[in-house]
Structure 1
Amino acid sequence: MDATFWATVALFLFLGIIFYLKVPGMISKALDERAAKISNELEEARRLREESQQLLAEFQRKRKEAEKEASEIVEAAKREAAMLAEDAHKKTEEYVARRAALAEQKIGQAERDAINEVRASAVDLGVEAARRILAARVDARADADMFQASVSEVKSKLN
């Protein structure tokens, strides 16, 4: 009996023990369980992928809506800014017009005051000229007589 015979016997004995203990069934069962687990993981991965694609589509839709809303807000702000600028321009024009009218009124008043002042000066000069002319014509004695007559008249009225 040589070593090849014993090796063959050991091989058959080993194979017999393996089949007796149902090792191929255990291996098959373990492989089936592993395949089922992998299949479940693949199904879960597919489900998660579909979910993530739905979420991505929803976020893209929300992003588009947000961009649209932002552009509407910007447009509204531009319109409002244009209206405010136009309103400010109108108010500035009105302010300038009011200030110009007020300045014209002040200029008119200054002109009237100047005319009145010139007239008053002309009257004062006329009165002074008349006084000088009369003073030159009326002598001092006549003035004294007139003064005495006036004083007498006032005294008589007081008594």
Structure 2
Amino acid sequence: MRLTLTALFALAASPALAAGDKPFFSLANTDFVVLIAFVIFLGILVYFNVPGLVGGMLDKRANSIKAELDEAKALREEAQSLLASYERKQKEVQEQSARIVAAAKEEATNAATAAKDDIAKSITRRLAAAEEQIASAEASAVKEVRDQAIAVAVGAAKDVMAKQMDAKSAGAMIDTSIATVAEKLH
């Protein structure tokens, strides 16, 4: 109703009222006929509750838009929580990979140190074995030289004694040897 009165007053103040020779409230005036048709049209709209239907449709559309906005907000919050979750997981994975790399470096360092120690021990063992072999070979060589010297000395003594020995001195030597052996055995 307020709308029809507003439209009526707007037309009443229009320049068409001041424009013409014909009286305004005559059916010969087209402005008046258009005004009457417009008022009838507005009356029909009000009678069939078109503004209420349009308002209901707009309210329904507003409610559906609000529901879509609420759903979008919920989806956004869910996406943000997923993003935060993935960022946490990514940070955890990065920390874990850093720990793995650090552990691998430490293991490699420990393995290198252990390998160096093993090599040093192996070299020490080999040097000791080589020194033992050298000492054994040296002892063997000294023994051979002694044995050779003894053999040569015995051979030379035998030759000297054979040349200097007669029957009388051989008997005396045998007696002396038997006495020495008897003393040592008892």
TM-score, length basis structure 2: 0.58
2: CA distance, partners of 1:83 / 1:50: 49
**Structure 2, unaligned runs of 5 or more:** 1-47
The equivalent residue for 1:21 is none
Q: Counterpart amino acid of 1:146? A: M
Greater RCO (Cα-Cα under 8 Å, separation 6 or more): 2
Matched, 1:98 2:121: yes
Query: Pairwise CA RMSD of aligned residues?
Result: 3.1
TM-score (norm 1): 0.67
Letter in structure 1 aligned against 2:91: K
Aligned counterpart, 2:151: 128
More helix by share: 1
Tell me the distance in 1 between the aligned counterparts of 2:87 and 2:80. 11
Identity %: 13
Question: Hey, what's the Cα distance between the residues in 2 that align with 1:98 and 1:158?
Answer: 52
1:44 to 45, 63, 67: 67
| Alignment match of 2:110 (pick from 82, 87, 112) | 87
For 2:111 and 2:153, the matched residues in 1 are separated by 62
Structure 1's unaligned 5+ residue stretches are 1-23
Larger Rg: 2
For residue 177 of structure 2, what is the amino acid of its counterpart?
S
Tell me the amino acid that sits aligned with residue 150 of structure 1. S
